[in-house]
Amino acid sequence: MKKIFIVGLGAGDFEQLPVKVYKKLMNFNGKLFLRTEDHPVVGELKSKGLNFTSFDFIYEEYDDFQLVYAEIVKTILTESKKNPIVYAVPGHPMLAEQTVQLLLKEAEERIEIIGGHSYLDDLFTALKIDPIEGFQFIDGTSFARDRIQYENHVIFCQVYDEFIASEVKLALLEDLPYDYPVIIVEAAGSRGERIREVPLEDLDRSVTLSNLTSVYVPPVPKELLNHKFSRLREIFRTLRGPGGCAWDRSQTHKSLKPYAIEEVYELLAAIDAEDDEAIIEELGDALLQVMLHSQIGEDDGYFTIDDVIRKLSEKMIYRHPHVFGEKEADSIEDIEKTWEQLKRAERAEAAKSLLDSLPGNLPSLSMAFELQHEAAKVGFDWTEVEPIWEKLREEISEVKEAISSGNESNIEEEFGDVLFVLANLMRFYDLHPEVALHRANEKFRRRFKHIEKRLKEEGKDINKVTLEEMDYYWDEAKKRGD
């Protein structure tokens, strides 16, 4: 195995090529490879008799940059078995060069890096920005939109063709307005340096792009980042902070309890209405509860939203070993079984009974559902639905007997048994009694409002009409589908 020298060709003109790199290239007795021939110094080096092999042809063979980089590395490692190698890259080898990182991973002990001039200094000078204010450097060929830190100075490198520029533009348009100003910098620090400001929508239009092109996104005003989590967190800190909202500052975990229940039911109503806009709003209101409780926790010094997110992330990873681990799941049933096994294991130490894991303040109908659901997990359950129907008929008969006896306490107990069986019956049909009852309540509300509306239209007082008249309009609402 022979030595691999990785050199940087600098950021621009031949005059910027470091002397040490120049001497290495001209005096090297081995094979010389260039990642790309598209660099201002290459022509000058050619004129001085330098012989090299360029990898530009590999870029033509593959659509995926990762495959390009892998092929380049494979070639260099293969050639280095027979000959010492010089591998020359644009700029500095340790700046936005994935092939260099891959080579270091495979053969670090045989690699010597001879740095070239980094273009970042020239870029900061050209843009007149100080990176200490906050700076993010992003490879335009490989990045995740949700990792972009818009509050900082953001620079995309390797934006060397329209396709990459288009990908960068489309990602930015998810977060920024179409006319947000971005700056295109060409050959920073060289005689050919060009700087041009364009609206974001024109990033991939009527602009000359090359291997020396960078795109600068100035720090984005927070008013344009209202859809970002960091902005949401800032808003709640402000609301609860000095000079914030008196109502928000007065809230406690206990005072917010009624709102949590209310928001969940409003979300259910939006889902039932299949109203996407309403679902968005109600999910936001549910998130409001999470954020406000978390900010209260932070203000009191007990926990923050980071703890909430960490706990949830760890739980989801732990309970999905078929995704984040090595366990396999062949069906939804396997996934649900694993989930319940892990959930029981988590609570085994804290709970004296299987049923102790249920929140004590659940609405009674939900509690009935959940009690029977938990018991069913260990086999305490009906094997088919028909005996439950028979049990319901039996409980209704016992209600009638209790009514005949006139024992008020017994009547209440027997009605409770009927509701308990109904909850279990609905569980067999994969329905939740709270949701079903909520829908029935809303249906009653709509139909009764229709009665009120129609009577008002006829100038009648609802307190003075007959039951038959109200039934007429009830049936009218029913026929309309209300």
Instruction: Find, among 18, 189, 180, 172, the residue nearest to 93 by Cα.
Output: 18
CATH homologous superfamily for the domain 351-431: MazG-like (1.10.287.1080)
Rounded CA gap, 126 and 128, in Å? 6
pTM of the model: 0.67
Hey, where are the domains in the chain?
4-118, 121-224, 229-318, 351-431, 435-479
- Residue-level pLDDT, tens digit, the chain, 482 residues: 789 999 988 877 787 788 888 899 898 888 999 999 888 888 888 888 888 999 999 988 988 888 999 999 999 999 999 889 999 998 889 888 899 999 999 999 999 998 777 788 889 999 999 999 999 999 998 899 999 999 999 999 889 888 999 999 999 999 999 999 999 998 887 778 889 999 999 999 867 787 778 999 999 999 999 999 999 999 999 999 999 999 999 999 999 988 888 898 889 889 988 999 999 999 999 999 999 999 999 999 999 999 999 999 998 998 888 889 888 887 888 887 787 777 767 665 555 666 776 766 778 888 888 888 878 877 888 888 899 899 999 999 999 988 988 888 889 899 989 999 899 899 888 888 888 888 888 889 899 999 999 999 989 999 999 999 899 999 989 888 77
CATH 3.30.1220.10 fits 229-318, yes or no: no
Q: Residue 29 region, left (φ>0) first, then alpha (ψ -120 to 50), else beta?
A: beta
> What are φ and ψ of residue 403, in 5° steps?
-65, -40
CATH 3.40.1010.10 fits 4-118, yes or no: yes
Q: Same CATH topology for 229-318 and 351-431?
A: yes
Rounded CA gap, 31 and 24, in Å? 12
CATH topology assigned to domain 121-224: 3.30.950
